[in-house]
Structure 1
Amino acid sequence: MTKINNSDKEELVKIMGELLEPHIPALSDAFQRFGQWVENISQKHSALINNLSTIDWSAVNKRLEEMPNRSRKAMEIASRQGWFFNWEGSLQIVLTLIDNIESAGEDQIQIDEILKQHYLQYLDSYTAQLGANHPERQTAIKAAVSAHKDLGVQGYYLSIPVFLAQADGLFSEICQTSMAMSKPRNRQTNGVKGLDWVKAKIGDDAQAKDLLSPLFVLHELDLLKSEGIRNAEFEQTGVLFNALNRHQVLHGEVSDYGSEINSLKAFSFLAFVGLHLPTILASAETKQG
């Protein structure tokens, strides 16, 4: 490698100086403006920086760690009223929903209003996600959503069977199990047929079990409650069963199911099966390596 002598270095410095001299004012101005920008940003966000420094991050972390367990309890409350929710939204959306459900407790009117407003707000978003994740079902789902939104009470009679049927088909497809929502022939087995497949997939993942908790009692919920159980409950209580029930709707046993609440409940189940279930299964599989 050729070594540069002192004379050459001096000449190089002189040339560089001549090249830069005309631009020194502009460079000086640029550095000055950059310094001012940094100062402005610092002043503008100083309050935010100060606020961040006062946050109890250990409490935040604890709150996040408790989310799956709190979600399970909130899902249990919601599912007893015929509702399902998912974790497809932002963290803030999910936390707010859990907080609101916990506050409402077992108050059916409040639970209905909380979940109704949630699904009215995010109906289009969930519909788009369902269509993107399950393109072969997009036409049917979008048609049902349009009926729900545009046709009033008559639309609910059209949307509910489609939401339930698509959820049924998706559950069988995801679980790779024919008629996955039906009761197993082995009466000693608790739960619907597809549950065994789900259990095998998530293994001992406690978090996944929390986040999929409604599936473990699906056969006990009003939505899938069998005719035998419905009749037995009527004999015991004298109260006529009038909740949304998949079998009654899809087999034409009832014709008075068309309401906005029932349509949104059916959609909530579709979103749970079509969006939430695959996400949790994928997460559990990733953890298992």
Structure 2
Amino acid sequence: MEKSSFQISYDSLVEIVVKMIKDGEIGNRFSHLRKDRVELIINKISSYGWYIDDFSKESKISSSKCLKLIYSNFPEKLDDYLSDYYNKKMIQIENDLKSSYPKRNAIITEAFYVHKNKLFHSSICLFITIIDGICDDVLDAKFFKNVKDLPEIKVKLEEKKMKYSDFLLSPIKNKGAINGWEKELNKYPIRLNRHEIIHGKDINYGNEINSLKIVSMLSYVNFVLTHFD
């Protein structure tokens, strides 16, 4: 049975109100953040291969500390600081992923298993495939497929017009070493590149810090996908 014009108008109004409520909830969730500063910081951190996955008031990551370590030219201390954070959070990240993407449980389990067993070449490759996989599940788009030189998921996320939280997309709106072109990699402070890894050019990427960096990216992408859903 076709809907009446009144029912259509009512449904449209409900949709608008629901979106307003959701936008308000999101605005409240991030009201404690200085959005322009956070946007700058998370983009800068991502240029070193790290991603932040928690922007709540209770977050155990200090983005300001990360920025201070970068500007003080202490990338090793940045690695130590964020490695400690993500090492402590590995079980939670694995469980969150399994809960959100149950059809991917086998590959998620294997990826974290090989990481725990220090098979970092394998873990990095698996984590990279999971990133594209969960993007495809949620947005029917991929992170490591470029559209106009930036991740395909960027367009899909921007279509959602989440005005209170689009500042969190800074690492997606700006290309980093992980998804940069080979000819551009010298401009980044690190060389951890998906293309070089998958196509066999980089044979020295398999270490714990690099694996944790990809875990941080995976956890960040999962945060974005669930936050913008």
TM-score band, normalised by shorter chain:
0.7 to 0.9
Could you tell me which residue of structure 2 aligns to residue 86 of structure 1?
53
Q: Which structure ranks higher in relative contact order (CA pairs < 8 Å, sequence separation ≥ 6)?
A: 2
Could you tell me which residue of structure 2 aligns to residue 248 of structure 1?
196
Confirm whether residue 104 of structure 1 aligns to residue 69 of structure 2: yes
Confirm whether residue 160 of structure 1 aligns to residue 124 of structure 2: yes
Could you tell me which residue of structure 1 aligns to residue 215 of structure 2?
267
Q: CA offset at residue 280 of structure 1?
A: 2.4
Pairing partner for 2:89 from 122, 142, 159: 122
Structure showing greater radius of gyration is 1
Q: Which amino acid aligns with 1:140?
A: I
Aligned-residue sequence identity (percent) comes to 23
Answer whether contact 2:48 2:190 (CA < 8 A) is retained. no
Confirm whether residue 279 of structure 1 aligns to residue 223 of structure 2: no
Aligned residues: 199
TM-score (ref. length: structure 1): 0.62
Deviation readout 1:78-129 (Å, 9 max, x if unpaired): 10100111127x63225x4324213323331222111111101111111111
Higher percent of residues as helix: 1
Q: For the structure 1 residues 124 and 68, does the alpha-carbon distance in structure 2 shift closer, same or farther, using more than 3 Å as the test?
A: farther
CA distance in 2, matches of 1:171, 1:76: 20
Could you tell me which residue of structure 2 aligns to residue 223 of structure 1?
178
Q: For the structure 1 residues 81 and 180, does the alpha-carbon distance in structure 2 shift closer, same or farther, using more than 3 Å as the test?
A: closer
Q: Which amino acid aligns with 2:165?
A: A
Task: Flag structure 2 segments of 5+ consecutive residues without an equivalent.
Answer: 1-27
Answer whether contact 2:98 2:105 (CA < 8 A) is retained. yes
Confirm whether residue 199 of structure 1 aligns to residue 162 of structure 2: no
Q: For the structure 1 residues 67 and 132, does the alpha-carbon distance in structure 2 shift closer, same or farther, using more than 3 Å as the test?
A: farther
TM-score (ref. length: structure 2): 0.77
CA distance in 1, matches of 2:70, 2:154: 27
Answer whether contact 2:179 2:195 (CA < 8 A) is retained. yes
Q: For the structure 1 residues 194 and 148, does the alpha-carbon distance in structure 2 shift closer, same or farther, using more than 3 Å as the test?
A: same
Could you tell me which residue of structure 2 aligns to residue 285 of structure 1?
none
Answer whether contact 1:161 1:250 (CA < 8 A) is retained. yes
Q: Which amino acid aligns with 2:225?
A: P
Task: Flag structure 1 segments of 5+ consecutive residues without an equivalent.
Answer: 1-60, 283-289
CA distance in 2, matches of 1:165, 1:73: 27
Q: CA offset at residue 143 of structure 1?
A: 1.4
Instruction: Provide the aligned C-alpha RMSD in A.
Output: 2.5
Q: For the structure 1 residues 136 and 204, does the alpha-carbon distance in structure 2 shift closer, same or farther, using more than 3 Å as the test?
A: closer
CA distance in 2, matches of 1:157, 1:204: 36
Q: For the structure 1 residues 258 and 180, does the alpha-carbon distance in structure 2 shift closer, same or farther, using more than 3 Å as the test?
A: closer
